Amino acid sequence: MYQTIENTTFMIAFILYVASALLFFVQISKLAKKVDKAAIIATLSGLVFHTIAMGARTIGAGRLPFSNQYEFALSFAWGIVLSFLILYALYRFGAIGAFVMPLAILVMGYASMQSKTVRPLMPALQSMWLTFHVGTAILSYGSFALACAISVIYLIDSKRSEDHKILADPEVSDILGYRVVVFGFLMLSIVIISGAIWAQKAWSRYWAWDPKETWSLITWIIYAIYLHLRLRRNWKGAPAAWFSIIGFASVIFTFVGVNILLPSIHSYAT
């Protein structure tokens, strides 16, 4: 029964996200006026159904949906939408949705291609650190996706005339992108550190140069360089936006590429 609820609500959430992305796109294209409210309602409703899908999965599996590639993709997309809605609640920049929702849709699409079979947790994953480690990863990856979307907006706006900008003030999108990266960076630091503490308990070593942890470190280094250049060298605007996009590419490689290309002790995440 839970699987049926999960599949149905997953599909509804997916459709609502597609609808919201289209509405946001209509809004920024100025094809119709005042569709932003409808787009936000669609996003919010999508998130509600998405949360129900995750809840059904949690009840069905008897644990949080954090253990394999399907479950993490499901949670990752949830983190992206949640990050966007939090930012919207704070600053009311709905137009960002036109760029961030397609990312959430892509991750949902990727989730739908993965095996949905519920498998029991292997012994190494039976730890309270799983919730903390993966929970912070969802927030971190969700924030980086949002920052990437804002950076794309900045790059588009920087080439447009005043009347055609997506966000009225490019400096604001630049600052927002930076703030979202800061949150993602803090969360990523917690992800790496909690993973290290967990690895010490499970495998006796806090660091083993496993491809997944190594690529997380590479992502961390990319964002650390971004923050240093920004704060110390006043690197703003287009270079910062490109850095944020490169950082997100590293996030995606850590999430998908490492699982496919590099053998890892995180291979249960396939």
Partner 1 sequence: MKTRTAKVIHFFASLKVAIILLLLIAAYIVIGTVLPQHGTEALYLERYPATAKLILGLSLDSAYSSPIFIILLILFSINLALCTITSLNGQLRKMKSNYYPYFREEEYAIDGVEESQVQTLLAKQRFSVVEEDGVLRGAKYRWGVLGAAITHLGLIILFLGGAIGTMSSSEEMITLLPGNQHRFEKQGFTVELDDFYMTFEPSGAVKQYYSDVTVIDDNGNRSSETLWVNKPFHHNGLGFYQANFGWTSNLQIFDEQSGEVVVDGLLRNGGSYFYQPKHLTVFLYSYYPEMGIGHDQTPVKMSDREVNPHYLVILYEFGEPIDYYVLGPGEHIHYDGLQISFTHSIAFTGLLVRKDLSYPIVLASFITIILGLIVSFYLYPRFITYKDGKLITSSRRNEWVFYQSIKSTLTKKD
Residues in contact with partner 1 by CB under 8 A are 91, 119-120, 122-124, 126-127, 171-172, 175, 179, 182, 185-186, 189-190, 193, 196-198, 200-207, 209, 211, 214-215, 217-218, 221-222, 224-225, 228-229, 231-233, 258, 262
Q: In Å, how far are 107, 150, 155 from 93, measured between CA atoms? A: 22, 10, 16
Output the smallest distance, CB 265 to partner 1, in A. 12
Q: What angle do CA 132, 83, 268 make, to 5 degrees?
A: 40
Q: Between 38 and 217, whose beta carbon lies closer to partner 1? A: 217
Output the smallest distance, CB 231 to partner 1, in A. 7
Output the smallest distance, CB 123 to partner 1, in A. 4
Output the smallest distance, CB 209 to partner 1, in A. 5
Q: Between 185 and 255, whose beta carbon lies closer to partner 1? A: 185
Q: Between 86 and 229, whose beta carbon lies closer to partner 1? A: 229
Structure tokens at 15: 């459709």
DSSP output for 95-114? GGHHHHHHHHHHHHHHHHTS
Nearest partner of 137 among 254, 270, 259, judged by Cα: 254
Q: Between 6 and 210, whose beta carbon lies closer to partner 1? A: 210
**Would you call 7 exposed, middle or buried from its count of C-beta atoms within 10 A (0-12, 13-18, 19+)?**
middle
Q: Between 32 and 193, whose beta carbon lies closer to partner 1? A: 193
Output the smallest distance, CB 83 to partner 1, in A. 16
Q: What angle do CA 92, 98, 104 make, to 5 degrees?
A: 105
